[in-house]
Chain A
Amino acid sequence: MAYVAVKGGERAISHAHLWLEEERRGPGDVAELSLAQIREQLSLAVDRVMVEGSCCDADLAALAIKQASGDLVEAIFLLRAYRTTLPRFGFSEPLETARMAIRRRISAAFKDIPGGQVLGPTYDYTHRLIDFKLAAEGGAPEPAVVAAEPIADRLPTISDVFSKEDLLQVDERSDGAEAPFDLTRDPMSFPAGRDQRLQALARGDEGFLLSLAYASQRGWGSTHPLCGEIRMGEASVEFTPPELGFPIELAEITLTECTMISEFGGSMERPPQYAKGYGLTFGRNERKAMSMAIVDRALASGAEASETPHAVQDEEFVLYHSDNVEASGFVQHLKLPHYVDFQASLQFVRRLRKEWTARREAELAAAREAAE
């Protein structure tokens, strides 16, 4: 049933928005949050809004979080809406994540990955005990330890490690490949290429992908992934301005990258080896990058299989429902007036009920007659 617009309520709406603004600000005797505070001290919220808002701009993401009272899905919506107002200058050169300046790099599969296990600033291994010291404001934390020697400029990736033995699926790289699919220009279409899938997953909802990845691990997805590698650090964005004709380094952005590996038993054409699932996000979004990599692999296995028994392997199910701007819009539109729909529905249910009652009474009467 379609949504039918109704008029009226303008005054109530404007008053509701004024009250919302007051609620958003909260009591005036509590200091107002600055964008810098949000950007620097709620940085993981900012990172999530940037990647799912599909717009890398920490100040804008911080502003959206402030405007949305910390509702991240609402902030993501604000960022997506804003980006539609801007012209597109062009495309960057593909990021060279192998040359990332590493702050964190771990492999759960390979203890002795060359370059070592570098934990970086992580919540892993913390005790998850509420730290009441933070409730008393003001104290500067103990400074981070600075080693005498920096880590290498470039740490080998898991693909570098495996390359000699051909044990790991090699990323296909074709000369003169077509421009990658762009969801901001073309609607979702199926069967989806991996480029379309990865773009959709990169901006997909973390919670949705996390649950799918979890379901896949628990048996609803036929993938048994191992975490080949996680990297977090800074990589250059190179862009060629049309006025210049050569690439310039536009920015250095923080990225999280995850490679999941899972056993591939071999086929007529391909020998047994490890297949890869890939996750890449702006900022520090490790849970998201891991989930994305697992879902990427599950979808690839779904495409390889003759049937897709599990939801996580069904690309239409996953890609049509991973976007939280669309999902939240469609679920939440139900609270907009549906008065006419409901009128029609009400008449229908009343008629059904009348018919049901008449039928039931006739049946009872027939049964009574038969008994007599």
Chain B
Amino acid sequence: MLAKADPARLASLWADVVADLGGAPPHEVLRPAETGLVMVRGRMGGNGDAFNVGEMTATRTVIRLESGEVGVGYVSGRDRTHATTAALADAMLQTSTRAERVKRLIDSLADEQAAARDLAARKAAATRVDFFTMVRTRGPG
């Protein structure tokens, strides 16, 4: 949920989380944020064995909270802050004091993504073709 969130939207929601918790949790960086590539695979014919379609960018980082929990962040794109937020959230989910608030963040992201998907599915439904069959009849006489 965090990995595929829009970085700007996540940053704004994350600011609320940090404010609610009275500041960002102290942490150290175990693996500095780094951008790389993930090769995206498809299936031959749609359902067969795998083939390589092409790559996508991704950014990863690993952090450790002062309380010891290790958080791993992998996100799509090249935004390092996005990866750090995902890693912090992953670590905080393992704490007893902060997990609740992070879960609420994830729920609201899930709701927003579900709403966006629902809207697209409704717009798609509005473009569905209703065929009608012409009934062939003999002309008068």
Query: Which residues of A pack against B, CB within 8 Å?
Result: 50-51, 54-57, 59-60, 83, 86-98, 101-104, 111-112, 116-121, 144-151, 153, 157, 159, 169, 171-174, 177, 180-184, 194-196, 198-199, 202-203, 233-234, 236-237, 239, 241, 243-244, 248-253, 257, 259, 276, 278, 280-282
Closest 5 CB pairs of A and B: A171-B48, A150-B121, A251-B76, A171-B45, A56-B56
C-alpha gap A182/B50 in the complex (Å):
11
C-alpha gap A169/B45 in the complex (Å):
9
B45 and A86 form a contact (CB under 8 A): no
B36 and A171 form a contact (CB under 8 A): no
Q: Does B123 contact A (CB under 8 A)?
A: yes
Interface 0/1 of B1-36, CB less than 8 Å to A: 101100000000000000000000000000000111
B49 and A174 form a contact (CB under 8 A): yes
User: Would A93 and B41 be within 8 Å (CB), given that A102-B124, A119-B129 are in contact?
Assistant: yes
C-alpha gap A253/B54 in the complex (Å):
12
Chain B residues, Cβ within 8 Å of A51: 54
User: Would A243 and B3 be within 8 Å (CB), given that A147-B123, A282-B53 are in contact?
Assistant: no
- How many interface residues does B have (CB within 8 Å)? 51
B50 and A94 form a contact (CB under 8 A): yes
Q: Does B128 contact A (CB under 8 A)?
A: yes
Which partner residue on chain A sits nearest B52 by CB separation? A199
B122 and A146 form a contact (CB under 8 A): yes
B56 and A182 form a contact (CB under 8 A): no
Q: Does B72 contact A (CB under 8 A)?
A: yes
A87 and B36 form a contact (CB under 8 A): yes
A172 and B48 form a contact (CB under 8 A): yes
- List 19 contacting pairs A-B, 8 Å CB cutoff, sorted by A: A56-B56, A57-B57, A83-B37, A83-B55, A86-B35, A88-B55, A89-B37, A89-B74, A95-B43, A103-B120, A104-B124, A111-B131, A118-B125, A147-B125, A171-B48, A248-B3, A250-B58, A251-B77, A278-B45
Chain B residues, Cβ within 8 Å of A171: 43-49
User: Would A146 and B51 be within 8 Å (CB), given that A60-B78, A259-B46 are in contact?
Assistant: no
Which partner residue on chain B sits nearest A122 by CB separation? B127
B40 and A92 form a contact (CB under 8 A): yes
B55 and A95 form a contact (CB under 8 A): no
C-alpha gap A111/B128 in the complex (Å):
12
Q: Does B118 contact A (CB under 8 A)?
A: yes
